[in-house]
Each structure stands twice: as C-alpha cells, then as structure tokens.
Structure 1
Amino acid sequence: MLLVQVIVVALVIWGIWHNVQKAVDQVQQQNFSFQELRWPWLVAAGGLYLLGSLPMGLFWLRLMRAMQQKPTTWSGIRAFFIGHLGKYVPGKALVVVLRTSLVQGESLKRSVVATAVFAETLTMVSVGAVYAAILISLWFSDRQILLWLAIGIAVAASFVTLPPVFRKIVLILKVAKINPEIAENLAGLNYPVMAWGWVANLIGWTLLGSSLYAVMASIPDADPHLASFTQMFPLLAATVCLAMVAGFVTPIPGGMGVREFVIMEMMAPVFGPVVAVVSAVLLRVVWLFAELALAIILYGIPASPPTAELASAEIPPAEEDPAQNPA
C-alpha cells in the first residue's frame, strides 16, 4: 500500500512539474516579466477558481447520495479537490483513483463512487460546452471552428448524460460483474438530480469565467482593451468553458496545449497575441498552484476527526474516598 502511495505522489509531482515548466517557457518566449503582474488579482483568480469548483464537488456528493451511498460531506469535498491533481498524470485515470480512495462514509461501494465521478465529469463537460456554444453563437459567431467544436462536444456529452442513456452505458460496460446491485444504485440517477447538477455547474462555470477576468486584470498590457466585467464576461466565460472542455476530452495531461490554443484563439483578436499567450499561461499556472495549495492543506487534515475514538475510550471509575465509606 505504501509503495502505491509513493508511486501516485511521484506521478502527480511529475505531472505538475511538467505543466509548470512548459507554461513558464511559453511566457519567457514572449519576453514577458512576471514582475509586471498585479499579484492581488492573481490571488483573487485562484480563489475564484476554487470557489467555482466547489459546486461541481457538491454535485458529485449529490450523485453518490442519489445512488444510495453515504459519503461524509467533508471527506467528499476533500477527495474532490485532492483528486484534481490526478488530471496532470497521463490518462487522467488517477482522478478516479484518488477520489475513490479518499472519500469515506457508510455503505460506500467503489464501483458506484467511480460511476459518480464519471457522471459528474461528463455533466461538467456538457454544461460547459453548452454554455460556450450559446455565448459564442450570440457574441462571436465569426469563430466558426470554435463554435462547431463547442456544439459537437455539447451534443455528445449531453446525450451521454441523459439518465436512461448513462444507465445503459454503465450496464453495457459490465459493471454488474463487480457490483451486482449497480442497476439498483443507478435508479437514483434521474432527471431532477441531473437538473440540480446543471444549476450547480452553471454557477461554477460563471465563477471560472470571473477567474479569467481577474487574470486579465493582473496584466498591465491588457488594460487598454479590458472593459468592464459585464462587457467582458461573454468573451471570458466562453473562453474558459470551451478551453477547459476541449482539454478534458483529450487524453493530454491537464489538457496542456489544447486549453492554451483555445484561449489564444479567443483572446488574441481583442487583446493581441502577446497578452493572449500570457493570459493562457497565467490561467494555467494560477489554477495549478491554487489546486496544489488547497490539496496540501486538505491532505494534512484528516478525512474524519478522531471524535469516535475519544467517545469510545473507557473512562476509569472514580476512586472511592474511604472517609465517605466507613463500612
């Protein structure tokens, strides 16, 4: 078990280092100095990213409970955020491994927990793609390639997340061999639960778009083209949604390169190529360090407090006072 944990940590560290190194190299190629940045805006960007991820984590908890699992809220949120680091490892399967191994609670079946991870991720992709497609079609219809990319992903992901379709896919994958009760568990995954997830993800994606605004506000060279938040939001939200969604549907660790390409394609016509590249790289670095910092903090906090051990500890009986018991 210890060897497995060491391997997982080593893979995560390698993935993070690889992503950071490539990002910094891209910024240096633009002759941009990090000293020019407004750091409070970058801190705000990291905070908005983590806040925007929270509704998605709560949806994962909602899915598990709908499928008759009883995870504790704290362990679920902890597993969700630590699991983010798994996407920087090739294949991204480590996300599922980390979440299923870290979440705690009653009546937890790893097959159901893993199924909930896939349902949550597909819903996030679906909502993000639909969000991007609507914004691009309304404000940036001239970006035909990106528009059709968003529509294609939106249609595919939305179809897969329809409860009857998703249940059928899980059964086709022979999960019943691992868990004979999977059909009964999947019965709880219905339209009201998925609607709850859509609302949660819409809130989350909106906050992620706000995070990109904070990144742009941190770059002095972006000032001449940076309008008010309400004016910039359609561009920023569409950019974040499509960039992350495109990155998720590729096997590349962290969507490296794919996310940056989409961001540069969306931002360059407004801010110019240099600011577009810098913003793409900064967004990745800020989000990565926000994930890493929170994961380190959460990993140092137990998934379940030791209250049960204290409660079960025997309290020694009080010694009798001989003076009070003359017999």
Structure 2
Amino acid sequence: MTPDPAAPRRRLARVARLVALAAVVVFASLFVVREREPIAAGFAGLRWELVAAAGALVVVGLAASAASWRAVLAGLGSRVPARAAARIFFLAQLGKYVPGSVWPVVAQTEMSREYHVPRARSASAALAHLLVGTVCGVVAAAVALATSSADALATYWWTIPVGVVGAAMLVPAVLNRVLGLAFRVLRRPAPEPVGGRDLLVACAWALVVWVAFGTHLWLLLLAHGLTPTPSLWLLATGAYALAWVVGFVVVVLPAGAGAREAALVLALGATVGAGDALALALVSRVLMLGGDVVLAGVAVAAARRGRQEHPLAPAP
C-alpha cells in the first residue's frame, strides 16, 4: 500500500492547531485572571437579562463579520461553503488573543488551503476584509457620533472627513489599487481584483457588524441603569466603532486590549463616569471573548457534520 505523502503535513497541521489553541487559552486566561476584580465589579449590579441580550448581539456581530469575509473571498474567486467558511474564520479569529497581529491572517491562509483557496488569495481576502471592516467602522463612528449630540459633534468632528476619505476607499477600483500597493510593499504578486457586487455585500455585512456591536454596548449602558434614548444608542454605536478602530490600529496589543477600553472610557466617561465606563468596557471585552470561543466551537462542530463540505486536496 502506497503511503500518503500528504499525511505528515496533515499531522503537523493538526499539532500546530493544538499548540495555537493552547496559546489562545493561556493568553485569554491570563487576561481574565489579571482583570478578575474589575471584571467582577463590572458585572456586579447589572441587569442580567440585558447582559444576556448584549451577549447575543455580540454573536450576531461576529457572525456578520464572518459573512463579510466570506463575501470578500467570493469576490476574489473562491466561494467557500458556509460551514467551511465559519470554521476557518472563527478558529482563525482566536489568534487575535495571542500577541502579534498576524496570527488570524496566518491561520486563515493555512486553513483556507484545505478548501482550494490559494495562499495569495486568502491573504488578499484577509487584508481586504480588515480594510472593509475598519473603513466601515470609521464611517459608522462618524455618522453616529456626529448625530448623537452637539457636544459629540464638537469633539469628534474630525471623524467626518476621515469617514469621507474612508468611504472613497470602498470604491472597487480604489480598494483594488490599495490592495495592489500593499502587496507591492510586501513584495508579493498583485492579488486578483475584488468584484464590485461581492464588495457591496461585504460592506453591507460590515455595517451589520457595527449596528450589532453598538447595540450590545447600548444594552450594557441600559443594564447599568441609563435611560434608553436614540441619542444614547448613537453614542454607544459611534463610541464602540471608534474604539474598535483604535484597538485595531494599536497592533502591538492582542485584540486591541487596553487601547479599546481606553477609547471607550474617553467616549463614555462624560456619560457614566470614567470608572463605570472602564467596568462596562471590560464586561464588553469578556462578552467578545466568550462569543469568539462559542462560535469557534459551534463552527467546528457544524463543519464536521457537513459531509458535503469535506475538504479535498490543498490548494497550491
């Protein structure tokens, strides 16, 4: 019987995934242990039904982010089945809890090969997805903060021109040029252009992400005792989108840890006080961590049950 030449590589990949998963567990556990007292203080006194609803919206937002990535990948020419895409995306996202911003991209690139997605295309999809999510986040922050109150407009007026410039980057010709420039800087071959229709779908899903994440923060503010108003929802949505972008830009911190919370304290401190804003930011962080872990587990289980989506030979 002829030995399978790909078997050692598959075994090595399984070992690498187990090591990566162990690293994620270690770093996530360190965060929870280190911040256990402020996290406990943040949850204390909150209305649990609203916290649960906020957690559900975190799951919705994360699922929408996966759908946005899948749309970008489709626009580049690889239409991966939904269960397979969920498995790749949510497992790779656990890498953001390990120091270094490249791990989710590396994981997506390697796992996508099992579904005939070339490395270059997968890397291009990861970069395009980050650009779409970040730009849509800036646009959402600009619109929400500018319309939430006169004080917020006076403070965050600068997000409007940044949002306009960002929106221009979502034009297919501009985005494809930016991707091409990025790959030239990395000394890699130019990627395939992203299709306009799929890019529009990716942007629509990205906006769903920010609505869901903003509403989750709004619910946490309500759980803290604030009165539900449209202006509070706009403030929460804009503040979270802006804080996420800040956390993304600060690439040296795992999943933007610290930077995102600091931005939320600055945005919400005048509304609930700096101490309570930090406590709610930590509660939000725990909900995000829980959502990532739950969705990764569900995606793996669903992919195993999907017989029709079994991987074939890896792509080159």
TM-score range, shorter chain: 0.7 to 0.9
Report how far residue 240 of structure 1 moved.
1.1
Distance of 1:140 and 1:49 partners within structure 2 = 25
1:204 is paired with a residue whose SS is helix
SS in 2 for 1:228: coil
Can you give the 5+ residue segments of structure 2 that lack an aligned partner in the other structure? 1-11, 311-316
Hey, what's the Cα distance between the residues in 2 that align with 1:168 and 1:161?
11
**Rg comparison, structure with higher value:** 1
Stretches of structure 1 that go unaligned for 5 or more consecutive residues are 310-327
Trace 1:1-327 onto structure 2 (pairs within 5 A): 1=12, 2-27=14-39, 32=41, 34-103=43-112, 107-140=116-149, 142-143=151-152, 147=156, 150-151=159-160, 154=163, 157-158=166-167, 160-172=169-181, 173-174=183-184, 183=191, 185-186=192-193, 189-218=194-223, 222-223=224-225, 226-251=226-251, 252-303=253-304, 305-306=306-307
Deviation at 1:239, TM superposition (A): 1.2
Change (3 A) 1:229 1:47: farther
Query: For residue 206 of structure 1, what is the amino acid of its counterpart?
Result: V
The alpha-carbon deviation at position 279 of structure 1 amounts to 0.8
How many Å apart are 1:27 and its aligned residue? 4.2
Compared CA separation, residues 288 and 153, structure 1 to 2 (3 A): farther
Residue identity opposite 2:265 in structure 1: M
Q: In 1, distance between residues paired with 2:19 and 2:295?
A: 21
SS of residue paired to 2:99? coil
Q: What displacement does 1:140 show?
A: 4.2
Partner of 2:7: none
Give, in whole Å, the separation in 2 of the partners of 1:194 and 1:236. 27
Three-state SS of the structure 1 residue aligned to 2:101 is: coil
Q: What are the superposed Cα offsets for residues 23-69 of structure 1, whole Å, 9 maximum, x if unpaired?
A: 334446xxx37453333322221110111222221121122122111
C-alpha offsets along residues 235-287 of structure 1, whole Å, 9 cap, x if unaligned?
A: 11011111111111111111111111111112121112332121111111111
Q: After superposing the two structures, state which structure 1 stretch, 115-124 or 192-201, moved more.
A: 192-201
**Could you tell me how far apart the structure 2 residues matched to 1:87 and 1:307 are?**
30
| Matches of 1:212 and 1:308, distance apart in 2 | 36
Give the partner amino acid of 2:246.
A
How many angstroms apart in 2 are the aligned matches of 1:145 and 1:295? Answer: 41
Deviations 1:183-209, CA, capped at 9 Å, x for gaps:
5x32xx144333322222212211111
State the 1:169 CA deviation.
4.1
Matched residues, percent identical?
Answer: 23
Please, what TM-score do these two structures have when normalized by structure 1? 0.78
AA aligned opposite 1:48: L
Q: Which moved more, 1:299-308 or 1:285-294?
A: 299-308
Relative to 1, partners in 2 of residues 1:135 and 1:302: Cα closer, same or farther, differing over 3 Å? Answer: closer
Segment of structure 1 superposing worse, 244-253 or 272-281: 272-281
Q: Which amino acid aligns with 1:133?
A: A
| Deviation sequence 1:78-124 (CA, Å, 0-9, x none) | 22222221111122211112223334775421210121111111111
**Is the contact made by 1:24 and 1:281 (CA closer than 8 Å) also made in structure 2?**
no
Say whether the 8 Å CA contact 1:210–1:236 is kept in structure 2: yes
Report if the CA contact (8 A) 1:23-1:284 is conserved: no
Q: How many residues align?
A: 296
Distance 1:308 1:55 in 2: 21
Paired residue for 1:318?
Answer: none
Q: CA deviation at 1:73?
A: 1.4
Distance 1:178 1:266, change over 3 A: closer
- Indicate conservation of the 8 Å contact 2:134/2:245, yes or no: yes
Return closer, same or farther for 1:144/1:137 CA change in 2, 3 Å cut-off: closer
8 Å CA contact 1:213, 1:229 repeated in 2: no
